[in-house]
Amino acid sequence: MHLPGDIIRVADSHYAGTEIGGRVLAINGRKVTLDREISIDNASYFTYINGEATHSSIKIQSVNGKEITLDSNPTGLEVYGVWSLSTQQITSGLYRSISIVENADGTNTITALQHEPQKEAIVDNAAHFVETARTLYKAPQINAVEVSTGYDGKLYISSDISSGDGKLTYDIKINKDGNLYQFKKGLADPNIELSDLPNGDYSVIIYGKNAKGQIVTEKTQTFTIDRPPAPTGVVVTGGLGQITLEWDWVNEVTQTEIFAAETDNFALAKKIAKVTARTYAHTLKGNKVVRYYWLRHTRGINVGPFYQQQGVRGQTAVDLDARLTELNTQLSRNIVNEVFDVAAPARGLELVKTVANLTDKGTKLASSQVYNQADGKLYTWNGTAYSATVAAEDVTGKLSKSKIDTSLISQLTGADNTANLARRLAETARAIFGADPLDSGEIFVHENKVSIKDPSDAIKAGIAYLSEDRKLNGVAVRMSIRENITMASMDKVANQIGVISYDEEEKASKTFIDKMEIKTPTIEQKVQNLSGGNQQKVVIGKWLFREAKVMIFDEPTRGIDVGAKYAIYQLLDELAANGVGVIVISSELPEVLGVSDRIIVMREGRMTGMLETKKTNQEEIMHYATGVKNMFAREYGVEK
């Protein structure tokens, strides 16, 4: 019978993951029959309690099923006596009994502590030994703990966990200056983030526990929070081809991080330098190039606050030699025509100006009438552009076909008129989106009147515009798919100070790459490397992420293959079914008839018809577009 203080051996086969203990069934000299089969290696030992109540260990020569052969006779071994097995890979455990309590059902409860016979040699003589495992199960282990700081100023604690049997939960203890500062228990993930830690010396201890709550691994990492102050004395000076930044010196262990952007928006800023100095020269190409800068100090993993939340503006200087060359060129040109253009109107003279080629008909010159030598026509300013056409009421007599302007004949043929109609509708759409000034009229979104002065107002009102020229107005071709999809929704992927979360960008871009079936190997693929159809899908994905209420599609399928067209048609139906207002502008009448519920026809900036797709055809649409038929005005008596 054991007493408190005795050393006892525990052979737990369940914990060990293999058979390491049991009872003896028979004894025949050196051959012993066990109650179960065992596996041995070249250094396996059979341990039992002898007649003197002490442990005896004998090497095992061989095993045959449940029968083992020992090196010598097991003196003192009795039938039904307990045995344990030790091999090179695994052994039973020794424990010192602390208390023994006899239970009412005849069982005993023993409380014991783990015992190491070699502890005195280890402590007193610095002996080194390799401990034999007590289980074949291998729990995941914490290999390393890393402490780092992100762009957002938060402290990130991450752990490298090895593979193993079972899952662990984690307790994380954070000490500050030797005292407990924070304790997180039962975490499924050992990676955490901390913010606003006060200055001091810290240690983080991560405990890994198995399903029974036993600590199977732990790791400690120390770090120091010594947050530097905000930069002071910041001065930005523009120079030739560069912008120089200066600030007050702190000390030799404090570095300065510098971020820059083309606009005053930190979400678009990139880190351009990290220096241990009090000055930095940012090299740029061009004259009067503007950049905005954000500065903060760092010490190791510690980052301080920014100099200010708004960017500090800097601008490169003018190249004097280049500017003088430009001025000399201007001074040397013939300015007689320019002087006459100014003086003639001042004198009340209205003359016809002759030009070699009137390419820009939308810009007013000094004279209201311009003779264009390129086509031999006289153009008159109508208030918005130069036009060679004459109103019908201003013509007296008859005109032969040869006297009618060829562009008018072409317009009446149909195809060109459809393109012009689409162009005029596109101009209206641009005005709705705030890209062009709105001369008159009101805009309502879901019956709510909105004021739109520029595209930012339109975006806030829930209006999206997908331009015909997607490379110029739809995507930033040199930027990645991830950046393009999120660029119109920075508020969704950035925190309160404007720092972009890469994880949020990644999540959003992957969602819409899958939804739009964009063919790309990675979210970091440059948009310029995509096909036309996939570029269009990126534009659509950008506005879908913005959750626009009204989406204006200007020639949505121009320049893309048949498969991509079909996918976009399906998307248009899905958007409309989900309550999104969809406006499609197209010069292809079959496409208009195929995707629309209603068709609006405009001529010379005014609505001439509103038709239901199911009740109209191409011929009727062309009649409204050319002015041959204007049932809308006749029916309603007004033009809206």
In a domain, 265, yes or no: yes
Segment 550-557 shows an average pLDDT of: 86
CATH number for the domain harbouring residue 42:
2.40.30
* 66 shares its domain with 153: no
Segment 144-165 shows an average pLDDT of: 83
Segment 217-243 shows an average pLDDT of: 90
Name the token pair of 618. 């191409």
Question: Can you give the pLDDT at residue 410?
Answer: 44
Q: Strands of 235-239's sheet, edge to edge? A: 235-239, 242-246, 279-283
- At 272-321, the pLDDT tens digits run 999 999 999 999 988 889 999 999 999 888 888 899 888 999 998 876 66
Question: Can you give the pLDDT at residue 640?
Answer: 36
Name the token pair of 454. 């520029």
Higher pLDDT, 612 or 497: 612
Distance between CA atoms of residues 576 and 265, nearest Å:
34
Quick check: 27 and 68 in contact, CB under 8 A?
A: no
* 28 shares its domain with 162: no
CATH number for the domain harbouring residue 199:
2.60.40.10
Question: Can you give the pLDDT at residue 412?
Answer: 45
> What is the H or E stretch that residue 173 is in?
strand 169-176
- Going by pLDDT thresholds of 50, 70 and 90, the confidence category of residue 500 is confident
- Going by pLDDT thresholds of 50, 70 and 90, the confidence category of residue 80 is very high
In a domain, 254, yes or no: yes
* 120 shares its domain with 153: no
Quick check: 280 and 314 in contact, CB under 8 A?
A: no
In a domain, 76, yes or no: yes
Q: Return the ∠ at Cα 271 (arms to 225 and 266), rounded to 5°.
A: 90
Give how far Cα 262 sits from Cα of 223, 270, 315, 553, Å.
36, 10, 11, 29
Rg from Cα positions in the chain: 42
Helix axes 415-433, 618-626, angle to 10 degrees: 70
Can you give the three-state secondary structure of 485-531, one letter per residue?
A: HHCCCHHHHECCCCCECHHHHHHHHHHHHHHHCCCCCCCCCEHHHCC
Quick check: 204 and 173 in contact, CB under 8 A?
A: yes
Quick check: 542 and 488 in contact, CB under 8 A?
A: yes
* 82 shares its domain with 146: no
Segment 415-434 shows an average pLDDT of: 67
Question: Can you give the pLDDT at residue 120?
Answer: 60
Question: Can you give the pLDDT at residue 347?
Answer: 52
Helix axes 406-413, 415-433, angle to 10 degrees: 90
Among the candidates 320, 344, 378, a domain finishes at 320
Give 149's strand partners: 155
Asked whether residue 523 carries a pLDDT value surpassing 80, the answer given is yes
* 442 shares its domain with 480: yes
* 15 shares its domain with 116: yes
Distance between CA atoms of residues 371 and 380, nearest Å:
9
Sequence-ordered list of residues with C-beta below 8 angstroms from that of 150, at least 6 positions apart, any chain: 156, 193
Question: Can you give the pLDDT at residue 305?
Answer: 87
* 419 shares its domain with 514: yes
Asked whether residue 69 carries a pLDDT value surpassing 80, the answer given is yes
Nearest to 2 by CA among 91, 95, 71: 95
Residue 503, amino acid: D
Burial of 637 (0-12, 13-18, 19+ CB in 10 A): exposed
Distance between CA atoms of residues 532 and 476, nearest Å:
14
In terms of DSSP bridges, do strands 67-70 and 31-34 run parallel, antiparallel, or are they unpaired?
Answer: antiparallel
Distance between CA atoms of residues 10 and 106, nearest Å:
20
Within 10 A of 395 (CB to CB), how many other CB atoms are there? 10
Sequence-ordered list of residues with C-beta below 8 angstroms from that of 221, at least 6 positions apart, any chain: 145, 146, 147, 157, 203, 204
- At 238-282, the pLDDT tens digits run 888 889 999 999 998 899 999 999 999 998 999 999 999 999 999
Among the candidates 297, 320, 343, a domain finishes at 320
* 115 shares its domain with 152: no
> What is the H or E stretch that residue 3 is in?
none
Number of domains in the chain: 4
In a domain, 162, yes or no: yes
Question: Can you give the pLDDT at residue 409?
Answer: 47
Task: Give percent of the chain above pLDDT 70.
Answer: 83
| DSSP class per residue in 44-76 | -EEEEE-TTSSEEEEEEEEEETTEEEESS--TT
- Going by pLDDT thresholds of 50, 70 and 90, the confidence category of residue 6 is confident
* 545 shares its domain with 440: yes
> What is the H or E stretch that residue 466 is in?
strand 463-466
Higher pLDDT, 257 or 54: 257
Question: Can you give the pLDDT at residue 322?
Answer: 66
* 450 shares its domain with 507: yes
In terms of DSSP bridges, do strands 67-70 and 108-114 run parallel, antiparallel, or are they unpaired?
Answer: unpaired
Give residue 192's domain range. 142-225
Give how far Cα 45 sits from Cα of 27, 52, 409, 588, Å.
17, 19, 108, 89
- Going by pLDDT thresholds of 50, 70 and 90, the confidence category of residue 374 is confident
Sign of CA dihedral 511, 516, 522, 523: negative
Higher pLDDT, 401 or 139: 139
pTM of the model as a whole:
0.35
Question: Can you give the pLDDT at residue 636?
Answer: 44
Within 10 A of 377 (CB to CB), how many other CB atoms are there? 15
Quick check: 515 and 571 in contact, CB under 8 A?
A: no
Quick check: 475 and 535 in contact, CB under 8 A?
A: yes
Segment 198-209 shows an average pLDDT of: 92
Length of the chain: 640
Q: For 39-48, 337-346, 457-466, which range has the lowest pLDDT when averaged over its residues?
A: 337-346
Helix, strand, coil percentages in the chain from 3-state DSSP, rounded to 5: 25, 35, 40
Give 147's strand partners: 157
- At 594-629, the pLDDT tens digits run 888 888 887 776 778 888 888 888 778 777 777 655
Higher pLDDT, 325 or 206: 206
Segment 482-494 shows an average pLDDT of: 86
Asked whether residue 29 carries a pLDDT value surpassing 90, the answer given is yes
Asked whether residue 371 carries a pLDDT value surpassing 50, the answer given is yes
* 31 shares its domain with 107: yes
Question: Can you give the pLDDT at residue 261?
Answer: 95
In a domain, 82, yes or no: yes
Quick check: 552 and 581 in contact, CB under 8 A?
A: no
Task: Give percent of the chain above pLDDT 90.
Answer: 25
Asked whether residue 631 carries a pLDDT value surpassing 50, the answer given is no
Distance between CA atoms of residues 573 and 516, nearest Å:
14
**Mean pLDDT, the chain, whole residue set:** 81
- DSSP E strand boundaries for 242-311: 242-246, 255-261, 270-275, 279-283, 290-299, 302-303
Among the candidates 298, 320, 342, a domain finishes at 320
In a domain, 101, yes or no: yes
Nearest to 153 by CA among 194, 191, 184: 194
* 478 shares its domain with 582: yes
The SS3 call for residue 243 is: strand
Name the token pair of 331. 């001074």
Within 10 A of 407 (CB to CB), how many other CB atoms are there? 12
In a domain, 459, yes or no: yes
Q: Return the ∠ at Cα 375 (arms to 371 and 378), rounded to 5°.
A: 30
Asked whether residue 634 carries a pLDDT value surpassing 50, the answer given is no
Give 7's strand partners: 96
Burial 83-119 (b: 16+ CB within 10 A, else e): bbbbbeebbbbbbebeebeeeeeeeeeeebeeeeeee
- Going by pLDDT thresholds of 50, 70 and 90, the confidence category of residue 336 is low
CATH number for the domain harbouring residue 427:
3.40.50.300
